Chain A
Amino acid sequence: MKGMQTRCAGQSVVVSAASLILCAVANGQGLLPAKTDHKETTPAEAAPGQLGPRVPRPVLALPDGQTKRLQALVIDVQGRAQWRPSNKAPWKNAKVNDLLDPGAGIRTGLRSSITMRVGKNATILVGRSTRLDLPQILQEGAVLRTRAAVRRGRADFKVDLVGLTNDFAVLTPTTTLAVRGTGFAVKWGGLEGVQIEALASNVIHAIEVRYLLTRLRYYLSGQAVSRESQPDPVEAALGKTVSRPIAGALSETELLAELQSQRAVDYSRIGLESTVALVASFEPPQMDEPDGMLPQGFLLAMLICDNFNEFFVAYQNVLDSELGFNSLFQVFQFSQLVDEIQAFCEQLEQFDGDPFQFILNQVTAFCDTYAQGAGHDTSHEVELCISLFHDLLDGFADDGL
């Protein structure tokens, strides 16, 4: 190993094996052979025939004399944050995945922040009430050159060692600070000028990981389903088979109270009085009451309970096809509905009152929470959910009675 030529932190050196390891550990990076082909690689790129991603590789240098303008990518926005491409351009609200060119200005309000991946080697968290400019983000050969100007407020800078030379400078109205490959926070204010503080590294790491998780790709096979609102097919399958586990420290009594409160229906809020009245006055056709011995509500409840499995499988399918189960919450609510009505059916004989009205109340409450889970055009979703139940019951009554 002795005499092997390597690159460490952008410098070509001839070193021993021990110093090679030391160099790699100290820089938190792998060893990079001196010979470079100037082809940029992405860290998660997999070689043909290789399973899984390769170990991340450092960024490669450009040929000598070649310059490349880099950009900043917004990876997180909290509260009010805006940016503009140049001093004379109008401000626009920042959102995740916005790309900022060199020369961009950023500003944030109270209780607000914006986080950006800047160029190939830095992450900047711009804190509350801050004005920050990014006059320069570029790569010149083996040098990553970045200038960030903090006009006021606070910004955290994390500069990674990626195998090239970092020329990262933070300008404030009174000082210029250079970062080689570490991190710190800079505060600049009218009262005491510049202040240097420790980097909020855990906050930045959490934001980076969260952003990367939103960029995950899912590979589907067989019956797997992935939707925009529920991208993970495993979660969807889990919800359809074993239902969502109940996490948290709620006791059974508290949990029941919580579920009851979730089912409280405010008809006036969602304009459902007419729908409820319609379903309540439902009379299945061709249904003859046998000599007045059993009330109509009891017969309808019996119809559902006698065909319990078929009925609720059909209801689940028709809901899934018409409205879709877009969240685990909705699946959980449906399984709760099925459980409650099943328990009710087992004690139908002892029920004192109108059993169909009880079932209808459960379904209406379910539809209300289900539509809230869908998150859009609630009243329409609730009406459709109830009318699907209505139509299904109608069909079962036609077939069964």
Chain B
Amino acid sequence: MRGLAMRSSVVPLVILLLASAGMTGCARTVLDSSAVDEWSGDEAELEYWEHLESQRVVTNHDALHGLLMLADGADPHETYEQRLADARERAWMAGEAAPGANESAAIGMMAVAACDILSVKGGLTMRLFGPSPRYCTRELIFMDILPQRTEHQSLSGLEFIDLVGRIEDRLAEESGSGKE
């Protein structure tokens, strides 16, 4: 009887723990603000990278600003909504869901942007169904631009700067202006 009573008190606790783990496990980290909120103009580019360096995760807003600067050499937009609309136009993001500006950016979204910037054609699946977060992430890992990661993970500010630098190096190599 005593064992049964003990079991009956443990089972709800385990269920509660599993439920709480399941609920928080799917949520993304949200920061109070993004670096681009303060440092958004082209002239503030160096300050933006400097502040991003110390951020524990890169947010959607920061990621879009950095990737747009990489793609075009400048980011003319002023708000997150404008950047999001531009990203949708470039097919960096699918669907109508709008991720939060200060929510941590998923590697998958950044990988799709990188595939677009680098004009990666990919393998059979990508050629048949177009670039997707999962397959673009795998392509970047294959190209040695990303280490082993999955599309749902996030990057720290320092990692994002490194990713952007690696994409820029690859662009320079492909255009023939890379280092020896």
Contacts and interface: CB of A to CB of B under 8 A. Distances in A.
Q: Do A and B bind each other?
A: yes
Interface of A: 80, 82, 91, 107-111, 127-129, 131, 151-154, 156, 185, 187, 189-192, 197-203
B179 A203 contact: yes
A128 to B, nearest CB: 5
A80 B74 CA distance: 12
A109 B49 contact: yes
The interface centre, meaning the residue of A151, A192, A202 with most chain B CB atoms within 10 A of its CB, is A192
Contacts of A156: 179
Interface string B23-48: 00000000000000000000001100
Nearest to B70: A110
A82 B46 contact: yes
B116 interface: no
Contact of B168 (A82, A107, A129, A185): A129
A131 B159 CA distance: 14
B179 A111 contact: no
Contacts of B169: 128, 154
B126 interface: no
Interface in B41-94: 45-46, 49-50, 53, 69-70, 73
Contacts of A185: 179
B45 A110 contact: yes
Contacts of A203: 179-180
B152 interface: no
B165 interface: yes
Contacts of B45: 80, 109-110
A16 B105 CA distance: 67
Contacts of A129: 49, 161, 164-165, 168
The interface centre, meaning the residue of B46, B146, B157, B159 with most chain A CB atoms within 10 A of its CB, is B46
Contacts of B179: 127, 156, 185, 197-198, 200, 203
A189 B162 contact: yes
Interface residues of B, number: 26
25 contacts: A82-B46, A107-B46, A110-B70, A111-B73, A129-B161, A129-B164, A152-B162, A154-B165, A154-B169, A185-B179, A189-B158, A189-B161, A189-B166, A190-B155, A190-B156, A190-B157, A190-B161, A191-B146, A191-B159, A191-B162, A192-B162, A198-B179, A198-B180, A200-B180, A203-B180
Contacts of B147: 191-192
Given A192-B147, A198-B180, A203-B180, A111 B163 contact: no
A152 B158 contact: yes
The interface centre, meaning the residue of B161, B163, B164 with most chain A CB atoms within 10 A of its CB, is B161
Contacts of A110: 45, 69-70, 73, 164, 168
Contact of A201 (B73, B146, B159, B180): B180
Contacts of B162: 152, 189-192
A131 B53 contact: yes
B46 A91 contact: yes
Interface in B105-147: 146-147
Contacts of A187: 165
Contacts of B165: 128-129, 153-154, 187, 189
A382 B147 CA distance: 59
A157 to B, nearest CB: 13
A152 to B, nearest CB: 6
A91 to B, nearest CB: 7
A202 B165 CA distance: 21
Contacts of B69: 110
A190 B165 CA distance: 11
A185 B46 CA distance: 22
Contacts of A108: 46
B43 to A, nearest CB: 9
